Amino acid sequence: LSRTTPPVVFFLGGPGSGKGTCSQRVSAENPDFVYFSVGSLLRAEKQSGSELGKAISGLIDRGVIVPPEMSMAVMRRALEAHAHHSAVLIDGFPRSLQQDDGWVESFGLPALVVVLDSSEECMRLRLSERSRTSGRADDKVSVLDKRFEQYATETRPVEQRYAALEGGRLLLTVNAMQDKESVYQDVKNGLIHKGI
C-alpha cells in the first residue's frame, strides 16, 4: 500500500456504536471495497497463539489499546494482500493520535473519517445484549468501563483532529442511534457524496 492506492475510510465511534455492523454492510454491498476490523485482526492474532498474539491478548482482554507498532504490524500484513481494491474500509482505527500519526506518515490522509455518534447509554445497552453471544472477553461489564474510558481519552481526540482538519471536509458524523438501515443509508450517501 502506498499513497497512490485506493481511498481509505476510517470508521470511528465508541464501543458498540455500530462500526462493525455498518462498515461490513458497506463492504458486502460493494464487493470491490475491502473491509478490515483492526480489533478482529488483533483477536485473530491472539487466537493464533503467536508471540505477538500472547502480547496482544493481555491488553485487549482488559480493554486497553495495544501499542501502535503491534496494530500496524497486523494491519500492514492484511493490507498488502488487498492493494488492488477500489476502497479500503477500516473499522476501529486509528484508536489514538499516535496511531493516526503513524498511519498518516506511511499512507497519507484518509479520504473520509466516518464517526458513528451515539450516547454511552445506547452503546452499553447494545453491548450488554451482544455479550450474551459474542464470546468476547472484553464484553464483560467489568471491562466496559475501561473501553469507554479509552474511547474518551484516546480516540475522541482523533475524531476532533479530523473535525478541525481541512475545515471538517474529511469528517462525516452520523447519528448512530438510528436504526441500522438509516445509519447505513446516511453512511452510503456520505460515501457517494465524496465520490468513493
What lies within 8 Å, CB to CB, of 40 at 6+ separation is 20, 91
Chosen from ligand UP5, Mg ion, none, partner binding at 52 (C-beta under 5 to 8 Å by type) = none
* Residue whose C-beta lies closest to ligand UP5: 39
Reading the block at residue 148, the C-alpha cell is 469507554
Candidates 76, 77, 130, 169: give the one binding ligand UP5 (CB under 6 A): 130
What amino acid occupies position 78? A
Interface positions, 69-128, toward ligand UP5 (CB under 6 A): 71, 92-93, 95, 126
Q: How far is the CB of 108 from Mg ion (least distance, A)?
A: 25
Q: Does 53 bind Mg ion (CB under 5 A)?
A: no
Q: Is the omega angle on the peptide bond into residue 94 within 30 degrees of 0, that is, cis?
A: yes
Q: Which lies closer to Mg ion via its Cβ, residue 85 or residue 147? A: 147
Interface positions, 152-191, toward ligand UP5 (CB under 6 A): 179-180, 183
Closest CA to 34 of 23, 45, 44, 42: 23
Candidates 7, 20, 67, 190: give the one binding Mg ion (CB under 5 A): 20
Number of residues that bind Mg ion (CB under 5 A): 1
Q: Which lies closer to ligand UP5 via its Cβ, residue 151 or residue 171? A: 151
Query: Which CB contacts under 8 angstroms, 24+ apart, belong to 176-180?
Result: 176/13, 176/17, 176/18, 176/22, 176/116, 176/117, 176/118, 176/122, 177/117, 177/118, 177/119, 177/122, 180/18, 180/21, 180/22, 180/25
Q: Does 38 bind ligand UP5 (CB under 6 A)?
A: yes
Q: Which lies closer to Mg ion via its Cβ, residue 60 or residue 87? A: 60
Torsion sign (Cα): 67, 103, 114, 1 = negative
Residues that bind Mg ion (CB under 5 A): 20
